[in-house]
Chain A
Amino acid sequence: MKYHFMKIKQYQYMGGQWKNNFTTSGFDAKQAQLILVFGEPGLITRQASFDEIRKFFPKGNIVSCSTAGEIMDEDVYDNSIAVTAIQFEKTAIKCCATHIDQHDNSYETGKYLMRELLADGLNTVLVISDGTYVNGSELVSGLNENNPDNIPVTGGLAADGDRFNKTFVGLDQVPEEGTVIAIGFYGNDLHIGHGYFGGWDEFGPLKKITRAEKNVLYEIDGKNALDLYKEYLGPYKDELPGSALLFPLSMQEEGSNEPVVRTILSINEQDKSMVFAGNLPQGSTVRLMKANFDKLIDGSSLAAQSAFTNLAGSNPELALFISCVGRKLILQARTNEEVAAAKDIFGENIPVAGFYSYGEISPFAPLTRCELHNQTMTITTFSES
């Protein structure tokens, strides 16, 4: 039997029941260092849920995060809690939680967290952040600012189903709004791989952002952005903001070579503005994007391949999937197909955990700074040697 350096145990809470989904042989609950908890906002904010998890794992750091769907093994669930406990053999971890209110802004929050974690042997950082009050782009800029060596940073923003209302994150306590957590992994024995992929098609003419403030968009090509969206949505404009998720923006900042995707979070009819999950600097070039069912699912599998490839030969012992709520709203009943397609790449016995988020964090490529993505499937794999 294969020896596992990293040992995993997974629980799932559904329909009022806890069940054990996966256990690596030799796993010792008392030695679990990190417990990742992804769950429906209502369920994970109950004290009872937290107490139950603490009972399972008396010692490790419990990092909880509300979602728009929980990923476990090869399926997607709503109204559940997915728990993944990790027991490393050689890797040390350090968790750092902070509240957005303790800092001037999201950028400073990112800088603070990275500064707290920076130390010899820092191998990788996983960030789980509030998805309502935190500006993802700024947070990522702050993280990058204090990360001169481009240590890999991945993660995602918490979600609130398709309601875009309240998101919760917590470290060793019942999760709350406004919390941001960064987990540092230390030592040379941890190997991580990461990949992301969208699978959306760009269409329509290239346009320029002519008026925007941070993540609030007012004008494209000198015309009102909300009016433009309404024109494109036609009969579906009454379903805004949800229907705007059908047309995210592919955005290329001036001087950048890689486009990033920006998703609409909410609209404001009064000043005809639109709020996006990420900044839209003025002068950036944008193009509308449209989902393509098959490409979304293929994209997820490409992300998995990329994460597998840059793992450089070693087999992953845990795969963390963070996918965008926008994909779930498009794929609907077929959402599990994108998870299954990605899981297929890793094979039968690799435990998978993850969630549907309001923003994904991952570098474009190894050794580059991390970026905030929207509408992507972002995969991080972990293994120890």
Chain B
Amino acid sequence: MYHSLLEKQIKKLLTEQQLQDESLCQLLNVVSNTYQAFERDKKISEHAFEVSEKEYRELSEALLRAKEEADRANNAKTVFLATMSHEIRTPMNGMLGMASLLAGTMLTAEQREYTDTIITSGDALLTVINDILDFSKIESGNLELDFQTFDLRQCIEEVMDVFSMKAAQKGLDLVYQIDYQVSAQIISDRYRLRQVLLNLIGNAMKFTHQGEIFVRIDLMSVAGSEIELAFSVKDTGIGIPEDKVSKLFKPFSQVDSSTTRRYGGTGLGLAISQRLVELMGGTIDVESQPGVGTTFSFMIKGRISQESVRQYVHCNTVGNEGKTVLVIDDNATNLTILKTQLEQWKLTPTLAISAHKALEILSYHDEFDLVITDMQMPDMDGTQLAQRIKARHSRLPIILLSSIGDESKKKYPDLFNEVLNKPVKQQQLCRAIQASLRPGIVKVPVVATRPDQVLSEEFANKYPLRILIAEDNAVNQKLALRVLDKLGYHNVEIGQNGLETVQKFSSGFYDVILMDVQMPEMDGLEATRRIRAMSGRQPVIIAMTANAMQGDREECLNAGMDDYVSKPVKLEVAVNVLERWALEIQAKREEVHPDIKPR
């Protein structure tokens, strides 16, 4: 008996006589077995596939459940983070704010020391909290980058400004160089780039006791509008032992515990920097030699912004081409940077590594048009050098590169044409050179002045404003009242919550409302929406909130607020914001009543 289907074929195709043939029957046996094997295999497969289908179904259901669970947990974590951030910032605001006010009062030396310690400790604590929040956000995948067009050089220079004072105090040379091929306007996350640079340079500052910190930015590649930028921060600090290098980027780990005690910090900075760099499409690396120094290099991807085609080398050198400049600095890196810069501006630099070398050069070559000299040099400082030069070449203009707080310009008004703070910004240097080479044409004040006393009653005289504070926390109410009082605003009113704020505003006009967000009865967002819905003149509403998570700013602005300041509020920041809006309000008043002028 053959397979039933085969039987049918046999009946159709073969005769009885043919079926007597033994070898034909053998073949038919093989074929029949194959039919059967095929059928059996099909049944087995069908069953097995059904079972595996069922398994797949169960698996995907389980996956879906697990994903939902993970989403819920992630969500809960985000809420927890936001709450924690808010809860910590509210009392921190009171603490740091009051301490700052305290520092502005008459204190004994002992009291001042205590107050300063409270402020530095508070600032340190805030850094820790911010680091932990950042780290948690990155770890939970909640950190999103904010890609915008910005001026790279400006961003770098702002970072340099943060450290210039400290570098001067420690006697370190802080220098930077941006390759001229690097485009001015790029699209990336400026705040995160700034954060990475602040961290790396901050570390370099911490671990370098003499020598220099050299920040360098190079263009690695361009493909269409896509670019890759290489950053490096090189110091001459204590270095990192080889076996500790691999631990550097691990969260909460520092090179060793004794270093932790000596240098402080959470040990999160590099872990955060690494992740931020990765989010920006790059990698971070470190090379170090104990006793010699450390270089952190990282790469980020970005795009060239189409918004502007402005180039850096924007220095008008017309009429100055080929002019000769003698540059004196004991720091070789700095000399190289200055040389590159001057050559880009078509000037002809001659370099001297010491004051003596410079005097030697001047003794046989007195055709220089300009001298640029560093202030702090081992053999002879910039002032002494300038005096020696002026004694012989009284008309030769001299630019001094010094540090913030340097009084040379005041002390020797005739010695220097310009005094620039290090690290020197390109635009400043350009203007200073122009001014020195063609005196009388461009005169830009370039000496940094110490900020005026932050809090002064003059402020309110300059900007008379009616101010309403919406704030439920008693300490923070008191703090805000005191700060404004010191600014000269003595009749500031308080709304205890959103509802009261709206009521107060509807019964009397205020120019500015400082609005907390989380308040009982009605929150600041709702209060803002209600006020915005009212007819008539509108106030400037500035959020002052401990909600410092990503998106909080947008939420405030979307609700109709004009600006946003996160708690703990720094006095300078608060005053700057207030001043900015005060100017705006004044401008508007003048439009409406051109005869009313502020005093």
Contact = CB atoms under 8 A, between A and B. Distances in A.
Interface of A: 203-205, 231-236, 243, 246-247, 288, 290-291, 293, 330, 332-334
A236 B39 CA distance: 13
Of B43, B47, B56, chain A has the most CB atoms within 10 Å of the CB of B47
B37 interface: yes
B30 A205 contact: no
B41 interface: yes
B44 interface: yes
Contacts of A233: 44, 47-48
Given A234-B51, A333-B34, A205 B56 contact: yes
Nearest to B32: A333
29 contacts: A203-B48, A204-B48, A204-B51, A204-B56, A205-B52, A205-B55, A205-B56, A232-B48, A233-B44, A234-B48, A234-B51, A235-B43, A236-B47, A246-B44, A288-B52, A290-B45, A290-B48, A291-B41, A293-B37, A293-B41, A330-B37, A330-B41, A332-B34, A332-B37, A333-B29, A333-B34, A333-B37, A334-B34, A334-B37
A231 B51 contact: yes
Given A204-B55, A205-B56, A205-B59, A288 B48 contact: yes
B33 interface: yes
B49 interface: yes
The 10 closest A-B pairs by CB, nearest first: A204-B52, A234-B47, A333-B33, A333-B30, A232-B48, A232-B51, A205-B55, A205-B59, A231-B51, A332-B37
A68 to B, nearest CB: 18
Contacts of A290: 45, 48
Contacts of B52: 203-205, 232, 288
Given A203-B52, A235-B43, 19 more contacts: A203-B48, A204-B48, A204-B51, A204-B56, A205-B52, A205-B59, A232-B47, A232-B48, A232-B52, A233-B44, A233-B47, A234-B44, A236-B44, A288-B48, A290-B48, A332-B37, A333-B30, A333-B33, A333-B37
Interface string B89-121: 000000000000000000000000000000000
Contacts of A203: 48-49, 52
B403 to A, nearest CB: 57
Nearest to A204: B52
B391 to A, nearest CB: 77
Contacts of A235: 43, 47
Contacts, number: 52
A172 to B, nearest CB: 39
A290 B59 CA distance: 21
Nearest to B50: A234
Interface string B14-50: 0000000000000001100110011001011101110
Nearest to B31: A333
Contacts of A293: 37-38, 41
A210 to B, nearest CB: 16
Contacts of A205: 52, 55-56, 59
B289 to A, nearest CB: 35
Contacts of A231: 51
B44 A332 contact: no
B599 to A, nearest CB: 79
B43 to A, nearest CB: 8
A332 B39 CA distance: 14
Contacts of B55: 204-205
Among B38, B43, B51: residue with most chain A CB under 10 A: B51
Contacts of B33: 332-333
B58 to A, nearest CB: 9
Contacts of B49: 203
A236 B37 CA distance: 14
B298 to A, nearest CB: 31
A203 B52 CA distance: 8
Nearest to B37: A332
A243 B30 CA distance: 21
Contacts of A236: 44, 47
Contacts of A291: 41
A330 B33 CA distance: 11
Contacts of B29: 333
A123 to B, nearest CB: 41
A231 to B, nearest CB: 6
Interface in B436-466: none
A246 B43 CA distance: 12
Contacts of A333: 29-30, 33-34, 37
A352 B422 CA distance: 86
| Residue among B44, B47, B56 facing the most chain A CB atoms (10 A cut-off) | B44
Nearest to A243: B44
Interface in B37-87: 37-38, 41, 43-45, 47-49, 51-52, 55-56, 59
A157 B276 CA distance: 57
Contacts of A232: 47-48, 51-52
A37 to B, nearest CB: 28
B595 to A, nearest CB: 82
Contacts of B41: 291, 293, 330
Nearest to B47: A234
A243 to B, nearest CB: 8
A13 to B, nearest CB: 22
A376 to B, nearest CB: 19
A236 B55 CA distance: 19
Contacts of B47: 232-236
A288 B52 CA distance: 10
Contacts of A288: 48, 52
A294 to B, nearest CB: 11
A330 B40 CA distance: 10
Among A231, A232, A235, A288, the most chain B Cβ lie within 10 Å of the Cβ of A232
A284 to B, nearest CB: 18
A330 B37 CA distance: 8
B48 A247 contact: yes
Contacts of B30: 333-334
A110 to B, nearest CB: 35
A233 B43 CA distance: 10
A243 B48 CA distance: 12
Nearest to B58: A205
A290 B49 CA distance: 10
A229 to B, nearest CB: 10
